[in-house]
């Protein structure tokens, strides 16, 4: 294999890893503050991508065609609406079930995710067909010696990395992050500190959902296509990444996301006809990892929970 295609695989793998990591961080945040698994997470991601697409179509219809302006407004619309939906899910579906068994939360969010997915399929114009996603970033090739890279890939990678670093800073270095970590460790003592528990939980849900929306939009910009069921696969992979990394652990979620993407890439490259089997290979390795380290690569007891 020549170096150009190795580079292509690397960029592709990094891009996937970043999307998975963004989704996995959401799972880990929700589990951190509330000990719940929110199974609508993948479909919330899809909602973010479709909101951004609608915003783009609306802006084009209104004659606003400037790509960067359009992109900025798409990001704002997708992230804001999805964050709001995330907070509403927290407020009306998850918090009321707080004293019920965790399975009930899992079920109600699973049903909500299905409803969301079906609603987009049925009510979005021709929602069951894949939708072209606008190509808004410059896609000229950057020459690095013999190698060439597309500028849009690099920009998307940089955007994702920046958001992950910013989230890490938010959790680790700000007063809000301090409160989120306190709630994650001990709800009652956090309340005694004067922390508004409900508010922090809802902000966390908004934050996690906004990250998913960003992953969805990056997905659309990278592949130039989205569809109503895109959240299924990304949700399951993000969940697997969070579990493999150690649910509740920020670094674990990032590592898990990139690990899964690396496995897919290796599967696609190393196995003959591998690209059809890359998911089978990646999930098989994840299953083996879970059998080996049942509590995740970074056990929650030893590491800082978000």
Partner 1 sequence: MSAPLTVTSLTAGYDQADVLHDVNLRAQAGQITCLLGANGSGKTTLIRTILNLTAPRAGRITLAQDDITGKPTHEIVAAGIACIPEGRKVFAKSTVEENLRLGAYAEEDKSAVIARMQRVFDIFPRLNERRTQLAGTMSGGEQAMVSIGRGLMAAPKVLLIDEPSLGLSPLFVQENFKVIQRINEQGVTVFLVEQNVRQTLKIAHYGYVLAQGRVVAEGNAAQLRRDEQVQAAYFG
Closest by Cα among 252, 251, 255, 217 to 234 = 217
DSSP string, 116-176: HHHHHHHHSTTTTS-EE----S--PEEEETTEEEEHHHHHHHHHHHHHHHHHHHHHHHSHH
CB 93 within 8 A of CB 109: yes
* DSSP bridge partners of 143: 148
Cα distances (Å, whole numbers) of residue 87 to 2, 26, 133, 207: 47, 12, 26, 9
* DSSP bridge partners of 147: 144
Residue 169 or 223: the one with the smaller Cβ distance to partner 1 is: 169
Positions in the binding site for partner 1 (CB under 8 A): 175, 178-179, 181-182, 185-186, 188-197, 304-305
Interacting residues of 276 by C-beta distance below 8 A, sequence separation 6+: none
Dihedral (CA of 226, 275, 154, 238) sign: positive
Q: Whole-number minimum distance, CB 175 to partner 1, in Å?
A: 8
Q: Whole-number minimum distance, CB 191 to partner 1, in Å?
A: 4
Q: Whole-number minimum distance, CB 302 to partner 1, in Å?
A: 10
Q: Whole-number minimum distance, CB 89 to partner 1, in Å?
A: 22
Q: Is 186 left (phi over 0), alpha (psi -120 to 50) or beta?
A: beta
Residue 194 or 272: the one with the smaller Cβ distance to partner 1 is: 194
Q: Whole-number minimum distance, CB 233 to partner 1, in Å?
A: 33
Q: Whole-number minimum distance, CB 88 to partner 1, in Å?
A: 20
Residue 89 or 179: the one with the smaller Cβ distance to partner 1 is: 179
| Backbone phi and psi for residue 136, each to the nearest 5 degrees, phi listed first | -110, -15
Residue 24 or 183: the one with the smaller Cβ distance to partner 1 is: 183
Buried b (16+ CB within 10 A) or exposed e, 169-207: eebeeeeebebbbbbbeebeebeeeebebeebbbbbbbb
Whole-angstrom Cα distance, residue 261 to residue 279?
A: 10
Residue 8 or 304: the one with the smaller Cβ distance to partner 1 is: 304
Q: Whole-number minimum distance, CB 190 to partner 1, in Å?
A: 8
Q: Whole-number minimum distance, CB 194 to partner 1, in Å?
A: 4
Interacting residues of 172 by C-beta distance below 8 A, sequence separation 6+: none
Whole-angstrom Cα distance, residue 286 to residue 292?
A: 10
């Amino acid at each position: 294999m020549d170096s150009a295609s190795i580079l292509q695989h690397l960029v592709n793998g990094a891009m996937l890893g970043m999307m998975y990591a963004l989704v996995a961080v959401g799972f880990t945040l929700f589990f951190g503050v509330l000990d719940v698994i929110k199974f609508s997470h993948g479909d919330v991601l899809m909602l973010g991508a479709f909101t951004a697409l609608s915003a783009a179509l609306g802006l084009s219809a209104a004659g606003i065609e400037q790509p960067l302006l359009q992109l900025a407004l798409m990001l704002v619309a997708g992230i804001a609406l999805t964050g709001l939906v995330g907070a509403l899910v927290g407020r009306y579906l998850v918090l009321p079930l707080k004293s019920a068994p965790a399975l009930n939360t899992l079920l109600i969010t699973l049903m909500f995710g299905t409803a969301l997915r079906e609603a987009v399929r049925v009510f979005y114009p021709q929602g069951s067909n894949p939708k072209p996603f606008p190509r808004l970033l410059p896609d000229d090739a950057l020459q690095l010696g013999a190698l060439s890279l597309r500028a849009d890939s690099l920009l998307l990678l940089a955007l994702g990395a920046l958001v992950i670093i910013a989230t890490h800073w938010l959790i680790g270095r700000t007063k809000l992050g301090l409160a989120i970590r306190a709630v994650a460790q001990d709800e009652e003592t956090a309340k005694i500190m004067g922390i508004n528990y409900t508010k922090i939980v809802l902000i966390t849900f908004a934050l996690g959902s906004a990250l998913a929306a960003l992953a969805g939009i990056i997905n659309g910009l990278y592949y130039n296509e989205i569809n109503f069921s895109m959240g299924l696969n990304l949700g399951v992979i993000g969940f697997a990444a969070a579990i493999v990394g150690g649910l509740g652990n920020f670094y674990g979620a990032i590592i898990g996301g990139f690990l899964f993407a690396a496995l897919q890439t290796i599967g696609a490259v190393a196995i003959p006809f591998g690209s059809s089997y890359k998911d089978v290979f990646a999930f098989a390795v994840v299953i083996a990892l879970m059998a080996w380290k049942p509590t995740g690569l970074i056990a929650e007891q030893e590491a800082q929970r978000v």
